[in-house]
Amino acid sequence: MELLVSAIVPVYNVSPWLREALDSLVQQTYSPVEIILVDDGSTDGSGKICDEYASLWPERIRVFHQENRGLSGARNAGLNHMHGDAVVFLDPDDAFDVEMIQKMVDALLRDRAEIAVCRYAVYRTGGRMETERAGRKIPDNFRAGVLSSGEALRALAEGKIGHAAWDKIYLRKIWTGLRYPDHRVYEDVSTTYQAFSRAERISLIPDVLVMHRVRAGSITQTKSLQNMRDWLMAMQEYEAFIRANTPGMFDERQLEKVRLNQLSGKVSQWTMLSRADQDKAKDIREEILRKGDRLMHEPVLIRVRIAYWMIRLCPRLIPVMLPVYRFLRRIAARALGR
C-alpha cells in the first residue's frame, strides 16, 4: 500500500536555515510526497526561497503566501490545502533525516497505526546541522513499541513522549475536525493529546529521524508575557483533560506529574521575565505561590525549588542572580559536552 504524504512547512523569517530544511525534504527516499510551504508573511526573503524551490520542483512543491497568522495559522492553512493520506510537519529551522518519511510510513503500515512517533536529536547551533553527527538524542526514556490511545496519552503525561508536532506522522483522518488554536504559541500542547485520543494505535520507533535546532529568537526561546500566558492556557487545558479523565484513564501520580511540569514551567518562565517587569506578571507569581506550597513536597528539580523560594521570599534578587546562574550553566554544559 502506498500513501501520499503531505509535508507541511510553516515559514516565517527563517532564511538562514530554510534551505537546509527544504533540502532534507526534497532528498527524502520515500515517494510520493507533496511539500506544502506556507509563507506566513515573511519579510526577510524566506518567501522568495519558497518560490525558488517550487520553481525547481513544481510537481512536488506548492507555496501559499498569506498575511502573518502565526505558526498555528500557517499549519492550519497547510492542513486545509493538503491532499495526502498522511501528514508530517517540519519546522523551517529543523531538518529531517532522508529516511524519515519512509521509516514513519513503514511503521504506520506495519503496526496498523494512525500515528507514528520517532526520536530526535537536539542541536544548539545557529549554523548548519550535520545530519550524520548525532546531537543529544531525546527523550531518553522513549521505548519503541505499539501503544493504545490510553497508553500513549499516559506516556505523554509522564513525559515519555513529547507534545511536538514535528517528530510524528499522522493519518489524515486524525485531523478531521481538528486544528491548532489560532493566534497562540505552544499550540502543540493544546493539540497533541487530542490527536492521540482520536487514534486507536500509536507506533513508537527508536530511530533518530529529526534534527531539532534550538536557537535564540525561535518561538519557544522567546520569553514574553504573551507567550507565557499562551503556555499557561495550553497547560491549563491539558490539565483539565487529565483531571476529567482521572481515575478512568489516568492515575493521581500522572495528574501530579502534569501539575508539577506546569509549576516548573511557570517558575522558569516567570524567572526569565522578571528581569523586565515583575509587576506585569504579578498574577502569575500569586498563582505560583498558591499552588507551589502543595507541590514542593514532590520530587522537583533543585533549580526549580531554589527559584520557587526566591520568587516567594526575595523576587527582586532574581534579575541579579539570573546572569550568574546562566554563566554557571554554560560552563557545566561545556564540561558535559552538551
The three cell numbers of residue 196 are: 492521540
Q: Residue 234's domain spans which residues?
A: 225-336
Tell me the residue ranges of DSSP E strands in the chain: 5-11, 33-40, 61-66, 86-89, 95-96, 115-123, 136-138, 145-148, 168-171, 201-213
DSSP type of residue 45: S
Residues 209, 280 within the same domain? no
Residues 151, 230 within the same domain? no
Residues 282, 167 within the same domain? no
Summarised one tens digit per residue, pLDDT across range 148-177 is 999 999 999 998 999 999 999 999 999 999
* Residue 143 domain flag: yes
Domain boundary among 153, 179, 213: 213
Domain boundary among 169, 193, 213: 213
Q: How many CB atoms lie within 10 A of CB 121?
A: 19
Residues 194, 321 within the same domain? no
Q: What CA–CA distance (Å, rounded) separates 95 from 92?
A: 8
Determine the pLDDT at residue 133: 46
Residues 209, 232 within the same domain? no
Residues 69, 193 within the same domain? yes
* Residue 142 domain flag: yes
Residues 240, 207 within the same domain? no
Q: How many CB atoms lie within 10 A of CB 315?
A: 15
Summarised one tens digit per residue, pLDDT across range 28-38 is 999 999 999 99
Does residue 58 have a cis peptide bond before it, meaning omega lies within 30 degrees of 0? no
Residues 244, 200 within the same domain? no
Q: Do the Cβ atoms of 101 and 85 come closer than 8 Å?
A: no
Cell 523586565 locates to 276
Determine the pLDDT at residue 173: 98
The three cell numbers of residue 8 are: 507541511
Q: What CA–CA distance (Å, rounded) separates 284 from 257?
A: 20
* Residue 287 domain flag: yes
Residues 196, 235 within the same domain? no
Determine the pLDDT at residue 221: 44
DSSP type of residue 30: S
Q: What CA–CA distance (Å, rounded) separates 167 from 169?
A: 7
Residues 167, 124 within the same domain? yes
Residues 209, 230 within the same domain? no
Helices of type H across 147-213: 149-157, 187-197
pLDDT-flagged residues of the chain (< 50): 131-133, 217-222
Q: What CA–CA distance (Å, rounded) separates 226 from 228?
A: 5
* Residue 218 domain flag: no
Residues 192, 237 within the same domain? no
What's the total number of domains in the chain? 2
Determine the pLDDT at residue 141: 64
Determine the pLDDT at residue 165: 96
The three cell numbers of residue 182 are: 489560532
DSSP type of residue 99: T
* Residue 71 domain flag: yes
| Cα torsion 211, 214, 218, 223: sign | positive
Determine the pLDDT at residue 267: 75
Domain boundary among 213, 237, 257: 213
Q: What CA–CA distance (Å, rounded) separates 66 from 183?
A: 14
* Residue 219 domain flag: no
Total-model pTM:
0.84
